[in-house]
Amino acid sequence: MEPADAKKELRQRMLAVRAEIPEASRTEQSLAASRMAELEVLSPLRSQRGGKLNVFCYVSFRDEPNTLAFMDRCQAQGDRLLVPKIGAQRSLTLHEVTGMADLVPGTWGILEPASHTVIWPPERYPEIDVIVVPGLAFDLKGGRIGFGGGYYDRLIDELARCSGGLNQVVLGALALEELILPEAIPMESHDFRLDLLFTAKGTIYMKESSDKLGKLGIRARHDAF
């Protein structure tokens, strides 16, 4: 089966799996994952980078892992928070927000930055310290499958071009236990890999990112999930 066909099949299967996760479990896992992210990754990275971070995070929708607790923790520590906004022709812009008052329903009813919020231009992408992306499923080698729109593939590609690579940014996701697969996710040439997964049981670090995370002051462990 071609990777694109395999991804389409996997996407449908994981949509069904995620829909079956009880809301209480999703909320509990999301809160715990946010706590572990702060303890194991964000706090050490702040120490290494002078106290505050530039964090990009999507706003969760429906049965996605809840990102609001993660966002609240970042802002409570004084981090600058960047949130995506979908535009015409599948474009994605980043906006700086200061709280829930800066968010309004947008495309598909997803909360997104209001018109008064400041756009973070591509030339400032190299200043981003952490990017948290959505996904339907993840594997233990950094593989991820999204919703098929390609928004984040294009964002990460643009970030890499502006920054001369991805060595200074941590790429992660809030991952519910049910969405982490033991088998490899089919990947195509335009797909990017994550450095880590934030889970309720602790952070899962990708071995391929060990050197990068070590240089960023993050002690990566590779315990079995």
Residues of each annotated binding site for substrate: 59, 64
List 93's β-bridge partners, or say none. Answer: 85
Alpha-carbon distance of 76 to 190, in angstroms, equals: 35
- Burial (0-12, 13-18, 19+ Cβ within 10 Å), 127: middle
- Rounded to the nearest 10 degrees, the angle between the axes of helix 68-76 and helix 23-37 is 30
DSSP assignment letter at 180:
B
Alpha-carbon distance of 148 to 90, in angstroms, equals: 11
- Burial (0-12, 13-18, 19+ Cβ within 10 Å), 133: buried
Alpha-carbon distance of 118 to 125, in angstroms, equals: 14
3-state per-residue secondary structure call for 111-145:
EEECCCCEEECHHHHHHCCEEECCCCEECCCCCEE
List 145's β-bridge partners, or say none. Answer: 137
Binding site per annotation, positions for ATP: 7-11, 144-152
Radius of gyration of the chain (CA): 16
Binding site per annotation, positions: 7-11, 59, 64, 144-152
